[in-house]
C-alpha cells in the first residue's frame, strides 16, 4: 500500500453526519495525483448539502442521472459541471441512500504550485484556489472524477492534516444558492476564520 495511505481518510470519516464531516474537513489535505506528480491544498472553506429536504441540494427533487452519486456510499467524489464552463468538487457523506455531500469551496495551496499556476492560466496567490471552480481548475478536476472512490482512488483523496479548533471555525449562509428561505439562511458554510484563501463576499 502506498505510503500516503497511512494518512488517507477512510470510509468511517465520511459516513457520518454531514455537518460534522464538513467541519472536520477543514484543515485536511485534498490531494490530486497526476501521474507521479502531486497537487494538494489544505481545505479552508466548505458547504454542506444535506438530503432531499434541503432545497438547495441537487437531490432536492429526487434521484436523477446527474445526482446519483450523492445517493451512493460515502467517500466518493461528486463532481458536476456548472454554468457551461466550471466544475465543482464534493465529497459524499452519510449512509448509502441518503443524498448528502460537502462542497469544497477553497484551498490553501501546499504542493504543486507550479502546476496550479499553469492550470489557472498564470494566475497566482489567492486567485489559484479561492473558489470552488478555481480549485477544480488548479487541481485539474473534471467530470472524469465524478463517482471516484476517495478511499481507494489513486487519482484523488483526502489526507489527515491539521485539525482546526472550534474557535477557529467561522460559519454563515451558503453562497449562491437558490432554494427556499431556509436553504438560503441556514449556516451550513464553514471556513477557517481569517484564512486569506477563503472565497470572497
Partner DNA sequence: CTCTCGATGCGCT
Partner DNA sequence: GCGCATCGAGAGA
Residues forming contacts to DNA in the complex (CB under 7 A) are 47, 49, 56-58, 61, 64-67, 70, 78, 81-86, 88, 90, 101, 103, 120, 123, 127, 131-134, 174-178, 199
CB of 40 or CB of 136, closer to DNA:
136
Residues 12, 55: Cα–Cα separation, whole Å: 27
Instruction: Supply 61's cell numbers.
Output: 427533487
- What residue spans of 85-199 are helical by DSSP H? 113-119, 132-138, 181-185
Quote the least distance from Cβ 189 to DNA, whole Å. 10
Quote the least distance from Cβ 105 to DNA, whole Å. 7
Quote the least distance from Cβ 147 to DNA, whole Å. 13
Q: How far apart are the first and last CA of the chain?
A: 42
CB of 6 or CB of 65, closer to DNA:
65
Quote the least distance from Cβ 54 to DNA, whole Å. 8
Closest residue by Cα to residue 103 from 52, 156, 2, 175: 175
Amino acid at each position: 500500500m502506498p505510503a500516503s495511505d497511512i494518512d488517507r481518510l477512510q470510509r468511517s470519516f465520511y459516513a457520518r453526519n454531514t455537518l460534522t464531516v464538513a467541519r472536520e474537513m477543514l484543515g485536511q489535505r485534498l490531494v490530486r495525483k497526476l501521474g507521479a506528480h502531486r497537487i494538494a491544498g489544505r481545505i479552508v472553506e466548505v458547504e454542506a448539502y444535506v438530503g432531499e429536504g434541503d432545497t438547495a441540494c441537487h437531490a432536492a427533487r429526487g434521484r436523477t442521472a446527474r445526482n446519483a452519486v450523492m445517493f451512493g456510499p460515502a467517500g466518493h467524489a461528486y463532481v458536476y459541471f456548472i454554468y457551461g464552463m466550471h466544475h465543482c468538487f464534493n465529497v459524499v457523506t452519510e449512509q448509502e441512500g441518503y443524498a448528502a455531500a460537502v462542497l469544497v469551496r477553497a484551498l490553501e495551496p501546499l504542493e504543486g504550485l507550479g502546476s496550479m499556476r499553469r492550470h489557472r492560466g498564470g494566475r497566482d496567490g489567492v486567485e489559484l484556489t479561492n473558489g470552488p471552480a478555481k480549485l477544480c481548475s488548479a487541481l485539474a478536476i473534471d467530470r472524469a472524477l465524478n463517482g471516484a472512490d476517495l478511499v481507494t482512488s489513486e487519482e484523488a483523496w483526502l489526507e489527515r492534516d491539521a485539525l482546526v479548533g472550534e474557535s477557529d471555525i467561522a460559519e454563515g449562509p451558503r453562497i449562491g444558492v437558490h432554494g427556499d428561505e431556509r436553504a438560503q439562511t441556514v449556516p451550513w458554510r464553514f471556513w477557517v476564520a481569517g484564512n486569506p484563501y477563503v472565497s470572497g463576499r
